[in-house]
């Protein structure tokens, strides 16, 4: 079963081809990492697959269903979960409320207007559990704007995990974190069950190559290599792109 299928995707901004004829195919349960230098188009590609941006050309399918022009909520309903490179949380709301929104986002309970949130005991328990999993349970009642950057990156991941995702899009989950925080997040990601497919953008080569089943390398909006971690590590083209004159 192919979890993510991208064919000939392009995204053009004015004169700039941010994503240029990209195709990739991620199998269910696979851990795929997307790497490439700054400006390679990784986040833009993400936005096109997750629905934040409309592609200029090409096709995107999630678990066989064509989602190229589908609204984001449809993709989430199909099992998409994502994190953002620039932390995108609800600052004035508490951690518990942040997670609550993630949990009810995919079901009908989000439309309930006649009973308070507190009345939903199972949601509260699930939210607490979700916070415990990322080690933030003791901050549950604090508003997000009072917690540290590292804690916010953890919450960022927790939100995505609590939508009941079948395929997870992580955009540089370790961005801006200290080494110990990086380790913590990497471990959390590594321990994710295999029924969740993973597509991750990562800058840190060690983290990337440690977690990946396969690696896709992007440069100037195009895929230059799609292979195993070893292939990527030893590839001269990839070396050129990062250190040389590509």
Residues that bind other proteins (CB under 8 A): 50-52, 71-73, 76-77, 80, 82, 84, 88-93, 97, 100-102, 104-106, 109-118, 120, 159, 163
CB of 210 to other proteins, least distance (A): 27
241 and 223 Cβ atoms separated by less than 8 Å = no
Two tokens, residue 232: 């990527």
DSSP code, position 114? S
CB of 104 to other proteins, least distance (A): 5
Nearer to other proteins, 89 or 224 (CB): 89
Rounded Cα distance, 136 and 97, in Å: 13
Nearest Cα residue to 55 out of 44, 65, 39 = 44
Nearer to other proteins, 100 or 214 (CB): 100
CB of 51 to other proteins, least distance (A): 8
CB of 224 to other proteins, least distance (A): 28
Distances (CA, A) of 96 to 108, 164, 195: 19, 17, 26
CB of 225 to other proteins, least distance (A): 29
Nearer to other proteins, 26 or 127 (CB): 127
Nearer to other proteins, 93 or 225 (CB): 93
> Helices in 83-235 by DSSP H: which ranges?
95-104, 121-133, 149-161, 179-190, 205-211, 229-234
Nearer to other proteins, 136 or 159 (CB): 159
**Torsion angle in degrees (nearest 10) through CA of 182, 45, 84, 185:** -20
């Amino acid at each position: 079963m192919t979890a993510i299928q991208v064919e000939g995707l392009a995204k053009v901004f004015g004169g700039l081809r941010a994503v240029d004829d990209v195709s990739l195919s991620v199998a269910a349960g696979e851990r795929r990492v997307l790497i490439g230098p700054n400006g390679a188009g990784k986040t833009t590609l993400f936005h096109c697959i997750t629905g934040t941006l409309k592609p200029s050309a090409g096709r995107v399918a999630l678990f066989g269903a064509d989602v190229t022009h589908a609204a984001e909520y449809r993709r989430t309903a199909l099992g998409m979960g994502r994190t953002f490179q620039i932390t995108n949380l609800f600052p004035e709301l508490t951690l518990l409320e942040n997670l609550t929104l993630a949990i009810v986002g995919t079901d009908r309970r989000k439309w309930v207007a006649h009973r308070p949130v507190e009345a939903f005991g199972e949601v509260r328990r699930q939210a607490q559990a979700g916070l415990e999993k990322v080690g933030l349970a003791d901050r549950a009642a604090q508003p997000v704007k009072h917690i540290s950057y590292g804690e916010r990156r953890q919450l960022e991941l927790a939100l995505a995990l609590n939508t009941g995702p079948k395929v997870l899009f992580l955009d540089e989950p370790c961005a801006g974190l200290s080494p110990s925080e990086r380790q913590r997040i990497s471990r959390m990601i590594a321990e994710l069950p295999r029924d969740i497919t993973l597509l991750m953008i990562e800058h840190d080569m060690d983290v990337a190559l440690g977690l990946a089943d396969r690696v896709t390398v992007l440069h100037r909006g195009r895929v230059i290599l799609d292979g195993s971690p070893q292939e990527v590590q030893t590839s001269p083209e990839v070396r050129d792109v990062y250190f040389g004159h590509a």
